Amino acid sequence: QIQLVQSGPELKKPGESVKISCKASGYTFTDYAMHWVKQAPGKGLKWMGWINTYTGKPTYADDFKGRFVFSLEASASTANLQISNLKNEDTATYFCARMIRATGGFDYWGQGVMVTVSS
């Protein structure tokens, strides 16, 4: 069955970096774009951008340009999100989500990774 399995929770200090992984299984990884979504505690969902899993080209929403990097380990069917120079406001759960081709909806989601930034 199709699954997106993300890495475990992270506790980091301001200024540090974190790398989150999202391992896909049950389908051809390069056939579907992978998107990233942020959810701050008790808040709604915010789209961060996406990565073309065939070409590796990332696209970032404006609020996520600069410190955020989407990457792939295509041979391992894994998408990664790296956040550098962490700030308190990066404290959130980060989800990866597979996009349905031709509609833009997200049909499968990872379980989410809670990143806590605290001194």
Partner 1 sequence: DTVLTQSPALAVSPGERVSISCRASEGVNSYMHWYQQKPGQQPKLLIYKASNLASGVPARFSGSGSGTDFTLTIDPVEADDTATYFCQQSWNDPRTFGGGTKLELK
Shortest CB 75 distance to partner 1, Å: 26
Shortest CB 61 distance to partner 1, Å: 4
Supply 1's token pair. Answer: 């069955």
Residue closer to partner 1 (CB basis): 38 or 80: 38
Shortest CB 51 distance to partner 1, Å: 14
- The helix, strand and coil proportions of the chain, stated in percent and rounded to the nearest 5, come to 10, 50, 40
Shortest CB 13 distance to partner 1, Å: 25
Residue closer to partner 1 (CB basis): 8 or 104: 104
Whole-angstrom distance, CA of residue 69 vs CA of residue 81: 6
Residues whose CB falls within 8 Å of the CB of residue 44, separated by 6 or more in sequence, listed in order: none
Whole-angstrom distance, CA of residue 8 vs CA of residue 54: 26
Residue closer to partner 1 (CB basis): 26 or 105: 105
Q: Which residue in 99, 87, 93, 92 sits closest to 35, CA to CA? A: 99
Residues that bind partner 1 in the complex, under the rule CB under 8 A? 35, 37, 44-47, 61-62, 95, 97, 100, 103-107, 109-112
